[in-house]
Amino acid sequence: MSIVVKNLNFVYNPKSPFEKHALVDVNLTVDDGDFLAVIGHTGSGKSTFIQHLNGLIKLQDGVINVDGIDLSLKKVDFKKLRGTVGMVFQYPEYQLFADTVYNDVAFGPKNLKLSKEEIDERVKEAISLVGLNFDYVSQKSPFELSGGEKRRVAIAGVIAMRPKILILDEPTAGLDPQGKKEILGLVTKLRQTTSPTIIMINHDMNEVARYATKVAVFDMGSVVFAEPPQQLFKKQEQLVKMGLDIPTLAKLRNMLVSKGINLPDDCLTVERMAEELIKLKKRRQDECSET
């Protein structure tokens, strides 16, 4: 088990007029190899939650265990925790700071006090993993690159720490369709190579439906659902009530099912939906010709 969260509560500005209960009794388990999407509208507690996972927010009440590291202890091994959990913030390209791409990506490993060779190896690996040409970009200033390239460099900086768990806060925000596809393709690749467990905050339900293996829905500081997208998006009414979108094809599937057309619940991508409908049509035609 990768991450176990039990009865987590968090209050901003406690005992002041600005007191705000951001998290209320959150319970959630993330298994090794999960691709967890965290959804919920602005102010639902998503960001407060993920900031707990690598110790950016100090635990107030509850239990969190991340890959064997107990965050409720008095002395938490933060160094180990931050080597385990990599965090890619929203618009990570705004956090690039070094004079060259190489130095920016090397910043994390250098702080781990690794040997020069090891740092070099990690930087090379990270830059090539994010799909950039090492020889071409390593000595460039990160500010000479395009927006999409900058975001990759920022992700490479996190990957160079070789985190087992990678957390991304809206990694596709502000990108064009091609850029979105590339970043999500990259996340999928990282899941297969360096970081088997992915946690991603995302507002785009179509992307959630396509990539996530499990979805946690936050509403008013609590996790109201935590299940695979195939099951979750059947609960159209409840999600709409919370002000959340439903993936376009889940809407279509729910509509067709209500009309008596039997479709598998994983028809959440255009390819799968088209495939099943074509199969169904063929089957019905065959039945017709038989009788």
**Site for other proteins, rule CB under 8 A:** 41-42, 146-148, 173-179, 203, 206, 243, 245, 248-249, 251-252, 255-256, 259, 261, 270, 273-274, 277-278, 280-281, 284
Residue 80 vs 284, nearer CB to other proteins: 284
Minimum Å gap between C-beta 106 and other proteins is 25
CA distance 152 to 105: 10
CA distance 137 to 163: 23
Chain centroid to Cα 172, Å, comes to 10
CA distance 152 to 158: 10
CA distance 36 to 42: 18
DSSP E strand boundaries for the chain: 3-12, 20-30, 35-39, 61-66, 69-70, 85-88, 165-169, 197-201, 214-219, 222-227
Minimum Å gap between C-beta 157 and other proteins is 21
Residue 77 vs 245, nearer CB to other proteins: 245
Strands 61-66 and 69-70: what pairing?
Answer: antiparallel
Residue 1 vs 278, nearer CB to other proteins: 278
Residue 113 vs 259, nearer CB to other proteins: 259
Residue 245 vs 265, nearer CB to other proteins: 245
Minimum Å gap between C-beta 236 and other proteins is 12
Residues in the chain: 291
Output the six-digit token pair for 82.
């931050």
Minimum Å gap between C-beta 137 and other proteins is 14
Minimum Å gap between C-beta 101 and other proteins is 16
- β-sheet bridge partners, residue 37: 200, 215
Minimum Å gap between C-beta 173 and other proteins is 6
Residue 112 vs 277, nearer CB to other proteins: 277
